[in-house]
Structure 1
Amino acid sequence: MEALIDQNGEPALLLVIGLITGVIFGASAYHSRFCLRAATAEVASGRAGPNLAIWLIAFLTALLVVQTSIFTNALDVSESRQLAGAGSLSGAIIGGLMFGVGMILARGCASRLLVLSASGNLRAIVTGLVLTLTAQATLRGALSPVRESLVSLWTIPGDLREVSEILSIPRGIVITVTALGLSAALMFGRYHRLKISEILSAAVVGGAVWLGWMLTYLLTQHSFEVVSVQSVTFTGPSTDTLMALINTPTLTRDFGTGLVPGVFIGALSIALIRKEARIQRFDPGTPMERYLLGGILMGFGAMLAGGCAVGAGVTGGSVLSLTAWVAVFSMWAGAVGLQTISRWAG
């Protein structure tokens, strides 16, 4: 690693790490049809099915391998954004609810929109751009005062952000319970006739989250520069990538600007192999205004919640960040609630 740093520098290595992680995530997410929105739709309809199994396998795999790595001292995420410094529970709750509602309106979360856009889905591309621009406005633009006000309603210090420490649960117990849950999710997936390749791809989605944590952590151990330990998330990196393309002649080299094109390349590769790449437009059955509203809600909600369905839900959840767990629970509540109300009303 030190030789690679000397030859290429930390920014270039971060870019490559992000690219590799993104390709693996994009390919496996496309093949497995990993999607939080689809999982919530099954729950809202009163049945548990294959989409829920896919999400559980990905989430529990990430949680298991990350926590095992921490337990064996192979990984230290204590300085990660999800655990270091103050967190906002009000942001996690309000932002999570908004993101969940937006995810249903747009028929996909931030990661799913990026994956679908690789196959030629113009609805996903347009919605993703609206999400990204809203996120930028929420982070640094006209909507930032509103975000700051909502975030400050209920904050917690950094030493109260790790769930197992708050509840005094030994990490070994967390790992054991997670392993049992993953075993049940695997059997659940087979019960619903998921293909072995789909189950493995769902597990690889979780594994990609672990890979991002591990590779960036290894870089921090050999770097003389300040490098953040980080993993898969989409709203922030998508915003940074888009703004860099608009504002600068050269793209900043970091994990996020490698991750976003990596996911696109990975998903596109599988779409081409399966001959599923085709242009998909808005039509009377897919009204644009619904998608645009969904993109706005997700962009604002993700900035409040500290991440998207993957960034907060899976990546933050895998390190047992309290705000991440509250955010993903709120995303589930917002998504299931909207679908339940829609079903009752119609």
Structure 2
Amino acid sequence: MLENLIETYGEGAILMALGGLVGVLFGATAQHSRFCLRAATVEVAEGKLGPRLSIWLIAFSAGVLAVQTLIVLGWLDVSQSRQLATTGSMSGAIIGGLMFGVGMILARGCASRLLVLSATGNLRAIVTGLVLTLVAQSALRGALAPAREQLASLWLVPGGTMRSLLLQTGLTSTLAAMIAAVALGAALWHSHRQSVKTSHAIAAVGVGLAVALGWLGTYVVAMNSFEVVAISSVTFTGPSTDTLMGLVNSTELPLGFGIGLVPGVFVGAGAMALATKEARIQRFGPDSPMEVYLIGAALMGFGSMLAGGCAVGAGMSGGAIFALTAWVAVGAMWVGAMVTQRVLHRPSLVIA
């Protein structure tokens, strides 16, 4: 059946539809669960193991469990994904991850969170997200590209065995899935102790399942297509730049997973916000100076392209397949965010 659909509509259209479905699921569950890496890092930086941390841990462990289970069952093979098969940059993961971590504290949200908030009527998130996307495009193909390439070339790792944490450590997907199952149980127990609403915890699981669905869907399309189709999952900086540049630079959008993902997330988050009566207009104000948000957006735009992904693209999608650079990048994001949070909130330091 899928072969017939691909023959009739083409790989691009099928991938765009898949991206839209995954996006709706991610957007709705991320909005309802308040899934946010920045919020989790703020709690830890302040010495708390609170509800936001439990939500992030639930989503992350659910994503790892679902993806590794699919691999164990033989339904998914991620060995040819970009995060594992191609040359990666450890220097990019470290430097870019640190920049992204600093930026998401200043902008009060990572790339995915800004997109979700934009759908709820948050004008700060819309403006910040646009700046993030423009800087990311500049880092990918524009004036900032030479700087990104120079930093990325400082420490490279070849694709294959060297980029797989499982192969490097000798762990199997079965063991990884078992560890993730234990981690998910612990995160759910912690969320209960933190009085997290059951619906929020379930929605956090949905965030992880959206990541797994992205990997599975693109893999199935790739296996049924006569064309070369890159398998991928949820990530935001790259697809956002492709969508924006396609809208302003071309009369036709190149169809693909990312082109469906971004509007799908917007629709899913917006629908959830309307259903729960949480949609409202929010603007910049005295307690939310625009210049701080824009600096954060610029750091995240450049940092995500240097690190090879955003907090979801590296932290969730790359983390779920145990890509070495993805784990290093998300670790650097945690460090950058926590240090920034501690510095900005020292008693002797006053920030406008």
Q: Distance in 2 between matches of 1:174 and 1:247?
A: 43
Deviates more, 1:162-171 or 1:115-124: 162-171
Matches within 5 A, 1:58-137: 58-137=59-138
- Give 3-state SS (helix, strand or coil) of 2:85's partner: coil
**Deviation readout 1:166-204 (Å, 9 max, x if unpaired):** 111222221211111111001001111111110110000
Q: Distance in 1 between matches of 2:343 and 2:134?
A: 29
Distance 1:96 1:212 in 2: 23
Q: Distance in 1 between matches of 2:281 and 2:180?
A: 40
Aligned structure 1 segments of 4 or more residues deviating by more than 3 angstroms: none
- Is 1:196 aligned to residue 203 of structure 2? no
For residue 97 of structure 1, report the CA deviation from its aligned partner.
0.2
Query: Deviations along 1:38-87, whole A, 9 cap, x unmatched?
Result: 00010011011000000000000000110111122110011111111110
Code of the residue aligned with 2:45 in structure 1: it is: A
Which whole-Å deviations, capped at 9, do the CAs of 1:303-333 have from their partners, x for residues lacking one?
0000000000000000000000000000000
Alpha-carbon offset, residue 156 of structure 1: 0.4
2:273 aligned to which of 271, 274, 279:
271
Equivalent residue letter for 2:17: V
Counterpart of 2:242 in structure 1 is 240
Q: Aligned to 1:194, what secondary structure does the other structure show?
A: coil
**How high is the TM-score relative to the length of structure 2?**
0.97
Q: Distance in 2 between matches of 1:330 and 1:63?
A: 19
Residue matched to 1:300: 302
Task: Show the 5 A alignment for 1:14-33.
Answer: 14-33=15-34
- Could you list the runs of 5+ residues in structure 1 that have no partner in the other structure? none
Number of equivalences: 346
Cα deviations by residue, 1:248-299 (Å, 9 ceiling, x for unpaired): 1122211001000000000000111122222111011100000000000000
Task: Quote the Cα distance in structure 2 between the aligned partners of 1:35 and 1:47.
Answer: 15
Matches within 5 A, 1:1-346: 1-159=2-160, 160-344=162-346, 345-346=348-349
CA distance in 2, matches of 1:71, 1:88: 28
State how far apart, in whole Å, the 2-side matches of 1:246 and 1:174 are: 43
Q: What is the CA–CA distance in structure 2 between the aligned matches of 1:323 and 1:170, rounded to whole Å?
A: 19
Structure 2 gap segments, 5+ residues each: none
Tell me the TM-score normalised to structure 1 length.
0.99
Q: Could you say what the CA RMSD is over the residues aligned between the two structures, in angstroms?
A: 0.8
Distance 1:215 1:178 in 2: 22
SS at match of 2:280: coil
SS at match of 1:259: helix
Residue type of the partner of 1:180? V
The whole-number CA distance in structure 2 between the counterparts of 1:246 and 1:123 is 22
Distance in 2 (alpha carbons) for counterparts of 1:112 and 1:30: 8
What is the CA deviation profile of residues 78-108 of structure 1, one whole-angstrom value per residue up to 9, with x for unaligned ones? 1111111110000000000000000000000
The one-letter amino acid of 2:144's match is L
